[in-house]
Structure 1
């Protein structure tokens, strides 16, 4: 009998989050008053897992955990939670503990946390910070929100441009105040202006006596602290940077460095923001907020949608007599409007994403509009045939089938064109296309769909 190799098996527990099982045990221990027994498991969790844990608990359960272990939790948990959960964490820690935790964070993470606080809480915490950390925080907060100046870290590694590789390695080994993680070393002149950069991997692979300038990248791309973070993220994506220097616009002095992990957060936030704005939710993405707060935030946008729905209803009211004579029109109207809205939303999603990625330049925009119009035409022909057959068989009326077929074709073509033109025009007008496109598109497809369908019916069926 031949010997068989043992089969490999993989347990789901090996890849499962440590939070899921612990979450259930925490809830049970809170009910039985034995939460202290889980002390070691909770306080030694990775900050990201600890953030997930706090977000998975109810507000009362979260308060119990924070009252019990709050001052022992890792400082990094402050940057792993947001919204209501962050408010709860800060509420259960005194100002000095918060200041001590912020002092342990990198400057960019500290700023990310401070800018979400109200002014009174921010000033109290700033007053409790060590002088150097307070200066760095106040300097960052003077830059506009979403600017590179807010994003950059003040901890980075620089060496004189005339050093060799050996001197650099000795410095890295001996210097106690280096950042915990860094990718590039910047060469600076006497005025602290960056003139080149070299990756740590290049330093380690080069002989000690080699001049550092000989292995450095002298074609350094510098960025202004006033540059929008989204523009910076696009540049990182375009050129594959791992880090980038930020310099003073007046004298070129090195101010800070933006690293890839910061850019990942920017891309994530921008994608989330675009998604929320596309459906009228603005920056509301906190699932831990109360029902009343959520309802209040959504009310204004729903009011705008109500106004556009009234406009579509006014178009329908122009054809009341026609609808009374042919009741089948009332049955088929939603089909025309719904198909146009769905087709337009598909195009809109592609257009908004392309604009965010800087892919729709002038010539490309014309090609894109033409392509989407043709897509609408092809789909329109297909669904016009389907609508014709469906309606003719259902209502035993060929003319009604022709009317809905033509209306379907026209509305899908209009949806394709509108789904591209609306966001492009808004972008040219410096209006965020993700914020306003959907309501305009829905109005156009509803009005055009009803107008064409009911207008043709009034002309040929009555």
Structure 2
């Protein structure tokens, strides 16, 4: 990725720097990060109205870095820069933008300008651009597109969001199975409308069903007279157009795919997915699950404040409700706590350790569900495994905490907190598995809903086990 570096001489301004004088090596940063000083210089040029200066600073940047720069600026500066570098706002830049920033910038452009940008993009990138617009804006942009582009994008938008049909590229090479290798090579040389990049060629039958695939390396190293049916690989991974993008990422990882054919409900070849598309999916899904576990919504620093507030506050309110349950448990043992202040000192330890143990198990479980490593067939085995791990962890921590409590307070109270610790960590292990599994069975995203309920269970059980055992054993008396 290209990266702009700052000129060492602070007295040389952007106005004085001519494009012919720039040396690429001086404009690159080995850390591949836009330097804060450079971002500040662009912002200062915009603030002073030096549009030409801002343009000259940005011009040498790689499109991906232009997108990063736009995201680093605030809303007003972002729009000023976009207006100053209109001819640099290529489809490549737009495709690299963060969703919220792209939506903001596209909303400020007329439909004809958005259509022009969409026309420069691959179908999958154009779909990503248009799907973020309001329905009325979508119709306006589609009306500005050429017939071929419009049909392709409308077809993609007909599939559910975050599915293979939305992500796939409709630029691929498909040939009939009766060709020879030589005829295929001649075909590709004679047709100038082939995709700019492709890794394999799909072989289809008369119904346009994929029956095999040929890597380019096989074609180049095989004699011309050999039939495609003799060199093609018949065993291939076909991806349904309605398959969720997370499942697509799992398939590419599991089968080490470089590209794969996408088929419709009738089994016809309608597109292809390549590994560069899936890398984005895997990164996006991984980040999304981590953020959902924390209840932080999109977790995007460019997300509008109202959307960030809405996403986070509902889980804080839900957490408030579950915290009240733990408070009721404590209230039920109020008299015991009054008799022995040590209980109030020690009970947060039990709840805290249980909560951490539950979070560990929950994170492993949510990941296993997302990666299809945990299914109905192995749930019991995984549950038993995590219970054993929890018992080992609980026993280890219980010995440490129990011994320390016995030295500071009494041996009886040490035994109570040790027993409560084992119980709560074991419960945490069970809850960390069962809560995500139950939500998954109910078709609720376990990454979204599990954290609040696992925390409620571990807190409530920790307080109940510790205070209950203390009262039952007579440690308060």
Please report the TM-score for the alignment, with normalisation by the length of structure 2. 0.89
Q: Distance in 1 between matches of 2:393 and 2:182?
A: 66
Whether 2:372 is the aligned partner of 1:372: answer no
1:281 deviation in Å?
2.9
The 1:331/1:13 distance shift into structure 2, 3 A limit, reads farther
Is the CA contact (8 Å cut-off) linking 1:241 and 1:260 kept in structure 2?
yes
Q: How does 1:423-438 map to 2 (within 5 A)?
A: 423-438=436-451
Within 5 Å, give how 1:245-284 maps onto structure 2. Answer: 245-250=261-266, 252-282=267-297, 284=298
Give the aligned partner of residue 208 of structure 2: 192
- The equivalences for 1:86-125 within 5 A come to 86-125=102-141
CA displacement at 1:363 relative to structure 2:
5.0
* Mapped partners of 1:359, 1:83: distance in 2: 30
* Residue range with higher mean Cα deviation, 350-359 or 12-21: 12-21
2:240 alignment partner, SS class: coil
> 1: CA distance between counterparts of 2:320 and 2:470?
26
Distance 2:154 2:245 in 1: 19
CA distance in 1, matches of 2:74, 2:351: 42
Question: Which residue among 376, 382, 399 is the counterpart of 2:412?
Answer: 399
Q: CA deviation at 1:362?
A: 4.2
Q: Secondary structure at the match of 2:257?
A: coil
Structure-to-structure mapping, 1:221-240, within 5 angstroms: 221-240=237-256
Aligned match of 2:317:
303
What per-residue deviation string (whole Å, max 9, x for no partner) do you get for residues 135-163 of structure 1?
A: 11111111112222222211111222222
Aligned residue pair count: 449
Aligned to 2:217: 201
| Post-superposition offset of 1:380 | 1.4
1:331 is the counterpart of 2:345: yes
How far is 1:292 from its partner? 4.6
Give the aligned partner of residue 174 of structure 1: 190
1:356 aligns with 2:370: yes
Q: Which residue of 1 aligns with 2:19?
A: none
Deviates more, 1:372-381 or 1:188-197: 188-197
What is the DSSP-based 3-state SS (H/G/I as helix, E as strand, rest coil) of the residue aligned with 1:378? helix
2:469 paired residue number: 456
**Secondary structure, counterpart of 1:133 in structure 2:** helix
Identify the residue that residue 430 of structure 2 maps to in structure 1.
417
**Cα offsets for 1:97-134 (capped at 9, x unmatched):** 21111011111111122212221221111111111100
Give the match for residue 242 of structure 1: 258
Unaligned runs of 5+ in 1: 1-10
Three-state SS of the structure 2 residue aligned to 1:15 is coil
CA spacing shift, 1:38–1:201, aligned 2, 3 Å: farther
Q: Which moved more, 1:286-295 or 1:425-434?
A: 286-295
Which range is displaced more, 90-99 or 175-184?
A: 90-99
| Cα drift, residue 13 of structure 1 | 6.2
1:258–1:28 CA distance, 2 compared to 1 (3 A): same
Alpha-carbon contact 2:365-2:433 (below 8 Å) kept: yes
Residue 160, structure 1, aligned to residue 146, structure 2? no
